[in-house]
Amino acid sequence: MTSLEGNDIISAKQFSREDLEYLLDWAIKIEQNKKKYSECMKGKIMGTLFYEPSTRTRLSFESAMLRLGGSVTGFSSATVSSVKKGETLADTIRTVSNYTDLIVLRHNKDGSATHAARFSDVPVINAGSGSGEHPTQSLLDLLTIQLECGKVDGLNIGLIGDLKFGRTVHSLTYLLANYDVNLYLISPHILKMQNRVMDYVQRKGNVNINETTDFLETIPKLDVIYMTRIQKERFPDPEEYEQVKDVFKFEKKHISILKPNAKIMHPLPRVNEISPEIDNIPNAIYFKQTYYGLMMRKAVIGLVMGVFK
Ligand code: NCD
Protein backbone atom coordinates (compact mmCIF):
# COMPACT_ATOMS: atom_id res chain seq x y z
CA MET A 1 0.00 0.00 0.00
CA THR A 2 1.33 3.42 -0.90
CA SER A 3 0.29 5.98 1.69
CA LEU A 4 -1.55 8.90 0.13
CA GLU A 5 -0.43 11.26 2.88
CA GLY A 6 1.36 14.27 1.40
CA ASN A 7 1.17 12.81 -2.11
CA ASP A 8 -0.10 14.38 -5.30
CA ILE A 9 -2.95 12.69 -7.14
CA ILE A 10 -2.06 13.05 -10.79
CA SER A 11 -3.03 9.85 -12.58
CA ALA A 12 -5.28 6.84 -12.01
CA LYS A 13 -2.23 4.75 -12.92
CA GLN A 14 -0.68 5.54 -9.55
CA PHE A 15 -3.16 3.34 -7.63
CA SER A 16 -2.72 -0.35 -6.88
CA ARG A 17 -5.70 -2.58 -6.24
CA GLU A 18 -4.92 -2.39 -2.53
CA ASP A 19 -4.91 1.43 -2.65
CA LEU A 20 -8.27 1.38 -4.39
CA GLU A 21 -9.82 -0.92 -1.82
CA TYR A 22 -8.46 1.31 0.95
CA LEU A 23 -9.96 4.44 -0.68
CA LEU A 24 -13.34 2.75 -1.18
CA ASP A 25 -13.36 1.55 2.44
CA TRP A 26 -12.63 5.07 3.69
CA ALA A 27 -15.31 6.66 1.52
CA ILE A 28 -17.86 4.27 3.04
CA LYS A 29 -16.53 4.61 6.58
CA ILE A 30 -16.74 8.43 6.54
CA GLU A 31 -20.27 8.25 5.16
CA GLN A 32 -21.30 5.94 8.00
CA ASN A 33 -19.76 8.25 10.65
CA LYS A 34 -20.38 11.71 9.22
CA LYS A 35 -20.41 13.37 12.61
CA LYS A 36 -17.13 11.84 13.74
CA TYR A 37 -15.28 13.30 10.75
CA SER A 38 -17.08 16.65 10.53
CA GLU A 39 -14.22 18.62 12.12
CA CYS A 40 -11.19 16.65 10.97
CA MET A 41 -10.00 19.29 8.48
CA LYS A 42 -10.45 22.20 10.85
CA GLY A 43 -7.84 24.92 10.29
CA LYS A 44 -6.91 23.58 6.82
CA ILE A 45 -7.48 25.46 3.55
CA MET A 46 -8.04 23.90 0.15
CA GLY A 47 -7.46 25.95 -3.03
CA THR A 48 -9.59 25.10 -6.06
CA LEU A 49 -7.97 26.45 -9.24
CA PHE A 50 -10.33 25.82 -12.14
CA TYR A 51 -9.14 27.03 -15.54
CA GLU A 52 -11.98 25.12 -17.25
CA PRO A 53 -15.74 24.97 -16.55
CA SER A 54 -17.00 22.62 -13.87
CA THR A 55 -20.11 22.04 -11.79
CA ARG A 56 -19.82 18.68 -10.04
CA THR A 57 -16.09 18.36 -9.63
CA ARG A 58 -15.46 21.77 -8.10
CA LEU A 59 -18.58 21.89 -5.98
CA SER A 60 -18.20 18.34 -4.67
CA PHE A 61 -14.55 18.99 -3.74
CA GLU A 62 -15.54 22.21 -1.99
CA SER A 63 -18.53 20.64 -0.29
CA ALA A 64 -16.39 17.68 0.84
CA MET A 65 -13.81 20.02 2.38
CA LEU A 66 -16.47 22.15 4.11
CA ARG A 67 -18.26 19.05 5.44
CA LEU A 68 -14.96 17.86 6.93
CA GLY A 69 -14.67 21.19 8.75
CA GLY A 70 -12.06 22.80 6.48
CA SER A 71 -12.13 26.00 4.42
CA VAL A 72 -11.92 26.73 0.72
CA THR A 73 -10.51 29.45 -1.52
CA GLY A 74 -9.83 29.66 -5.25
CA PHE A 75 -11.23 30.64 -8.63
CA SER A 76 -13.72 29.02 -10.95
CA SER A 77 -12.56 30.71 -14.13
CA ALA A 78 -9.12 31.74 -15.29
CA THR A 79 -10.56 35.06 -16.51
CA VAL A 80 -10.93 36.40 -12.96
CA SER A 81 -7.36 35.59 -11.86
CA SER A 82 -3.97 36.95 -12.92
CA VAL A 83 -3.90 34.26 -15.62
CA LYS A 84 -5.78 36.86 -17.66
CA LYS A 85 -2.73 39.14 -17.30
CA GLY A 86 -0.47 36.39 -18.62
CA GLU A 87 0.69 34.71 -15.43
CA THR A 88 2.09 31.22 -15.93
CA LEU A 89 0.64 28.14 -14.25
CA ALA A 90 3.96 27.69 -12.41
CA ASP A 91 3.81 31.18 -10.85
CA THR A 92 0.17 30.81 -9.87
CA ILE A 93 0.90 27.47 -8.20
CA ARG A 94 3.97 28.79 -6.36
CA THR A 95 1.81 31.59 -4.97
CA VAL A 96 -1.27 29.57 -4.06
CA SER A 97 0.83 26.93 -2.33
CA ASN A 98 1.83 29.67 0.15
CA TYR A 99 -1.82 30.25 1.01
CA THR A 100 -3.26 26.73 1.14
CA ASP A 101 -2.66 23.20 2.44
CA LEU A 102 -3.91 21.45 -0.69
CA ILE A 103 -4.50 22.45 -4.32
CA VAL A 104 -7.20 21.02 -6.60
CA LEU A 105 -6.45 21.90 -10.21
CA ARG A 106 -8.46 21.68 -13.43
CA HIS A 107 -6.66 22.83 -16.56
CA ASN A 108 -7.07 22.55 -20.31
CA LYS A 109 -3.57 21.11 -20.91
CA ASP A 110 -2.73 17.44 -20.74
CA GLY A 111 0.18 17.18 -18.28
CA SER A 112 -0.81 20.34 -16.38
CA ALA A 113 -1.15 18.57 -13.03
CA THR A 114 2.32 17.01 -13.32
CA HIS A 115 3.73 20.42 -14.20
CA ALA A 116 1.89 22.11 -11.29
CA ALA A 117 3.08 19.51 -8.78
CA ARG A 118 6.70 20.42 -9.58
CA PHE A 119 6.10 23.97 -8.38
CA SER A 120 3.87 23.28 -5.40
CA ASP A 121 4.88 22.92 -1.76
CA VAL A 122 1.50 21.33 -0.98
CA PRO A 123 -0.18 18.27 -2.54
CA VAL A 124 -1.84 18.80 -5.94
CA ILE A 125 -4.96 16.88 -6.95
CA ASN A 126 -5.70 16.63 -10.65
CA ALA A 127 -9.36 17.52 -11.21
CA GLY A 128 -9.11 17.13 -14.99
CA SER A 129 -6.10 17.77 -17.24
CA GLY A 130 -7.07 18.46 -20.87
CA SER A 131 -8.07 15.29 -22.66
CA GLY A 132 -5.62 13.33 -20.50
CA GLU A 133 -6.97 12.24 -17.15
CA HIS A 134 -9.49 12.85 -14.40
CA PRO A 135 -8.40 10.45 -11.64
CA THR A 136 -10.85 11.42 -8.88
CA GLN A 137 -13.79 11.03 -11.28
CA SER A 138 -12.67 7.47 -11.92
CA LEU A 139 -12.40 6.83 -8.17
CA LEU A 140 -16.00 7.92 -7.69
CA ASP A 141 -17.02 5.86 -10.71
CA LEU A 142 -15.39 2.82 -9.11
CA LEU A 143 -17.19 3.50 -5.81
CA THR A 144 -20.48 3.80 -7.74
CA ILE A 145 -19.93 0.45 -9.47
CA GLN A 146 -18.92 -1.27 -6.21
CA LEU A 147 -21.93 0.06 -4.27
CA GLU A 148 -24.53 -0.30 -7.01
CA CYS A 149 -23.43 -3.66 -8.44
CA GLY A 150 -22.01 -5.08 -5.19
CA LYS A 151 -18.72 -5.97 -6.92
CA VAL A 152 -16.39 -4.97 -9.73
CA ASP A 153 -14.70 -8.26 -10.72
CA GLY A 154 -16.59 -10.28 -13.28
CA LEU A 155 -18.69 -7.42 -14.65
CA ASN A 156 -19.26 -6.54 -18.30
CA ILE A 157 -18.55 -2.81 -18.42
CA GLY A 158 -19.18 -0.69 -21.51
CA LEU A 159 -17.54 2.72 -22.01
CA ILE A 160 -19.48 4.52 -24.72
CA GLY A 161 -18.95 7.67 -26.76
CA ASP A 162 -15.84 9.82 -26.96
CA LEU A 163 -13.04 7.50 -25.86
CA LYS A 164 -10.38 9.58 -27.63
CA PHE A 165 -10.81 12.98 -25.97
CA GLY A 166 -12.77 11.91 -22.85
CA ARG A 167 -10.47 12.11 -19.85
CA THR A 168 -12.89 10.31 -17.51
CA VAL A 169 -12.79 7.12 -19.59
CA HIS A 170 -8.99 7.17 -19.75
CA SER A 171 -8.72 7.29 -15.96
CA LEU A 172 -11.51 4.75 -15.47
CA THR A 173 -9.83 2.32 -17.86
CA TYR A 174 -6.56 2.66 -15.91
CA LEU A 175 -8.38 1.85 -12.65
CA LEU A 176 -10.30 -1.06 -14.12
CA ALA A 177 -7.00 -2.55 -15.27
CA ASN A 178 -6.68 -3.68 -11.62
CA TYR A 179 -9.85 -5.82 -11.85
CA ASP A 180 -10.94 -8.92 -13.79
CA VAL A 181 -13.56 -7.27 -15.97
CA ASN A 182 -14.77 -7.55 -19.54
CA LEU A 183 -14.39 -4.08 -20.98
CA TYR A 184 -16.42 -3.10 -24.05
CA LEU A 185 -15.12 0.06 -25.71
CA ILE A 186 -17.90 1.40 -27.92
CA SER A 187 -17.08 4.40 -30.10
CA PRO A 188 -16.98 5.58 -33.70
CA HIS A 189 -13.63 4.83 -35.37
CA ILE A 190 -12.44 8.43 -35.14
CA LEU A 191 -13.02 8.47 -31.36
CA LYS A 192 -11.36 5.16 -30.47
CA MET A 193 -9.58 4.70 -27.14
CA GLN A 194 -6.03 6.10 -27.28
CA ASN A 195 -3.17 3.65 -27.82
CA ARG A 196 -1.34 4.70 -24.68
CA VAL A 197 -4.36 3.64 -22.60
CA MET A 198 -4.82 0.37 -24.52
CA ASP A 199 -1.12 -0.48 -24.13
CA TYR A 200 -1.26 0.06 -20.36
CA VAL A 201 -4.31 -2.18 -19.91
CA GLN A 202 -2.85 -4.87 -22.11
CA ARG A 203 0.40 -4.81 -20.12
CA LYS A 204 -1.53 -5.22 -16.84
CA GLY A 205 -3.24 -8.25 -18.36
CA ASN A 206 -6.35 -8.56 -16.14
CA VAL A 207 -8.94 -7.10 -18.47
CA ASN A 208 -10.57 -8.71 -21.46
CA ILE A 209 -11.01 -5.89 -24.02
CA ASN A 210 -13.55 -5.72 -26.85
CA GLU A 211 -13.51 -2.71 -29.18
CA THR A 212 -16.63 -2.13 -31.26
CA THR A 213 -18.69 0.49 -33.07
CA ASP A 214 -21.93 -1.44 -32.49
CA PHE A 215 -23.97 0.15 -29.72
CA LEU A 216 -27.20 -1.84 -30.20
CA GLU A 217 -25.53 -5.22 -30.36
CA THR A 218 -23.41 -4.57 -27.25
CA ILE A 219 -25.91 -2.96 -24.83
CA PRO A 220 -27.72 -6.26 -23.98
CA LYS A 221 -24.45 -7.77 -22.69
CA LEU A 222 -23.58 -5.01 -20.27
CA ASP A 223 -23.87 -4.74 -16.47
CA VAL A 224 -22.57 -1.16 -16.57
CA ILE A 225 -23.32 1.26 -19.39
CA TYR A 226 -21.01 4.26 -19.00
CA MET A 227 -22.19 6.95 -21.42
CA THR A 228 -19.99 9.97 -22.19
CA ARG A 229 -20.34 13.35 -23.86
CA ILE A 230 -18.64 13.95 -27.21
CA GLN A 231 -15.97 16.48 -26.17
CA LYS A 232 -16.82 19.28 -28.61
CA GLU A 233 -14.21 21.67 -27.19
CA ARG A 234 -11.33 19.26 -27.94
CA PHE A 235 -12.00 18.73 -31.65
CA PRO A 236 -9.44 20.45 -33.88
CA ASP A 237 -11.93 20.23 -36.78
CA PRO A 238 -15.54 21.36 -36.10
CA GLU A 239 -16.77 19.38 -39.13
CA GLU A 240 -15.52 16.19 -37.56
CA TYR A 241 -17.53 17.00 -34.45
CA GLU A 242 -20.67 17.49 -36.56
CA GLN A 243 -20.22 13.98 -37.98
CA VAL A 244 -20.19 12.25 -34.61
CA LYS A 245 -22.03 14.58 -32.23
CA ASP A 246 -25.16 12.44 -31.89
CA VAL A 247 -23.62 9.08 -32.63
CA PHE A 248 -24.91 7.15 -29.58
CA LYS A 249 -28.06 8.07 -27.71
CA PHE A 250 -29.61 6.03 -24.95
CA GLU A 251 -33.38 6.42 -25.38
CA LYS A 252 -36.60 4.96 -24.03
CA LYS A 253 -36.72 2.34 -26.80
CA HIS A 254 -33.45 0.86 -25.48
CA ILE A 255 -34.82 0.05 -22.03
CA SER A 256 -36.22 -3.27 -23.32
CA ILE A 257 -32.78 -4.51 -24.40
CA LEU A 258 -31.09 -3.82 -21.05
CA LYS A 259 -30.08 -6.60 -18.68
CA PRO A 260 -32.61 -6.24 -15.80
CA ASN A 261 -29.99 -5.06 -13.28
CA ALA A 262 -27.85 -3.04 -15.69
CA LYS A 263 -26.72 0.34 -14.38
CA ILE A 264 -26.51 3.41 -16.59
CA MET A 265 -23.79 5.85 -15.56
CA HIS A 266 -22.52 9.17 -16.93
CA PRO A 267 -19.88 11.53 -15.48
CA LEU A 268 -22.17 14.41 -16.60
CA PRO A 269 -22.77 16.94 -18.04
CA ARG A 270 -24.89 15.18 -20.66
CA VAL A 271 -25.89 16.80 -23.90
CA ASN A 272 -27.94 14.39 -26.04
CA GLU A 273 -26.43 11.03 -25.05
CA ILE A 274 -29.14 10.09 -22.56
CA SER A 275 -32.78 10.99 -23.04
CA PRO A 276 -34.29 12.62 -19.90
CA GLU A 277 -37.17 10.15 -20.36
CA ILE A 278 -35.11 7.45 -18.72
CA ASP A 279 -33.96 9.50 -15.70
CA ASN A 280 -36.49 7.87 -13.38
CA ILE A 281 -35.96 4.22 -14.26
CA PRO A 282 -34.10 2.27 -11.53
CA ASN A 283 -31.24 1.48 -13.92
CA ALA A 284 -30.38 5.18 -14.30
CA ILE A 285 -27.91 6.02 -11.52
CA TYR A 286 -26.07 9.07 -12.87
CA PHE A 287 -27.45 11.46 -10.26
CA LYS A 288 -26.65 9.02 -7.43
CA GLN A 289 -23.18 8.91 -8.94
CA THR A 290 -22.80 12.64 -8.22
CA TYR A 291 -23.41 11.94 -4.51
CA TYR A 292 -20.80 9.20 -4.53
CA GLY A 293 -18.48 11.96 -5.79
CA LEU A 294 -18.90 13.81 -2.52
CA MET A 295 -18.21 10.63 -0.54
CA MET A 296 -15.09 9.78 -2.53
CA ARG A 297 -13.68 13.32 -2.44
CA LYS A 298 -13.96 13.42 1.35
CA ALA A 299 -11.84 10.26 1.46
CA VAL A 300 -9.32 11.62 -1.04
CA ILE A 301 -8.90 14.94 0.80
CA GLY A 302 -8.57 13.33 4.23
CA LEU A 303 -6.13 10.64 3.11
CA VAL A 304 -3.92 13.11 1.24
CA MET A 305 -3.92 15.39 4.30
CA GLY A 306 -3.13 12.42 6.54
CA VAL A 307 -6.03 12.91 8.95
CA PHE A 308 -7.53 9.41 8.71
CA LYS A 309 -5.38 6.86 10.47
C1 NCD B 1 -16.27 15.49 -17.10
C2 NCD B 1 -14.99 16.26 -17.33
O3 NCD B 1 -14.89 17.43 -16.97
O4 NCD B 1 -14.10 15.62 -17.84
N5 NCD B 1 -17.13 16.05 -16.17
C6 NCD B 1 -16.94 15.81 -14.83
O7 NCD B 1 -15.93 16.14 -14.27
N8 NCD B 1 -17.90 15.15 -14.19
C9 NCD B 1 -16.95 15.02 -18.32
C10 NCD B 1 -17.24 15.96 -19.46
O11 NCD B 1 -16.95 17.15 -19.42
O12 NCD B 1 -17.80 15.47 -20.45
Query: Of all protein residues, whose CA lies closest to atom 8 belonging to ligand 1?
Result: 267
Residues noted as catalytic: 56-57, 85, 106, 134
Give the residue-averaged pLDDT of 170-197.
98
pLDDT tens-place string over residues 75-116: 999 888 888 888 999 999 999 999 999 999 999 999 999 999
User: Residue 127 CA: which ligand 1 atom is closest?
Assistant: 7
From residue 7, alpha-carbon distances to 10, 242, 244 in Å are: 9, 41, 39
pLDDT band of residue 309 (cuts 50, 70, 90) is confident
User: Residue 267 CA: which ligand 1 atom is closest?
Assistant: 8
Domains 12-133+291-304 and 135-290 share a fold: yes
Judge if pTM exceeds 0.95: yes
Is CATH 3.40.50.920 the classification given to domain 12-133+291-304?
no
pLDDT band of residue 197 (cuts 50, 70, 90) is very high
User: Residue 56 CA: which ligand 1 atom is closest?
Assistant: 8
The per-residue pLDDT for 84 is: 82
* CB contact at 8 A, 24 and 146: yes
The per-residue pLDDT for 151 is: 98
Question: What's the gap in Å between 134 CA and the centre of ligand 1?
Answer: 8
Among 125, 168, 270, 273, the mutation site with the greatest number of ligand 1 atoms within 8 A of its Cβ is: 168
Among 59, 62, 134, 159, the mutation site with the greatest number of ligand 1 atoms within 8 A of its Cβ is: 134
pLDDT tens-place string over residues 134-183: 999 999 999 999 999 999 999 999 999 999 999 999 999 999 999 999 99
For residues 122 and 308, the model is more confident at 122
- Domain 135-290, what architecture? 3-Layer(aba) Sandwich (3.40)
Question: What's the gap in Å between 133 CA and the centre of ligand 1?
Answer: 10
The residue ranges of every structural domain in the chain are: 12-133+291-304, 135-290
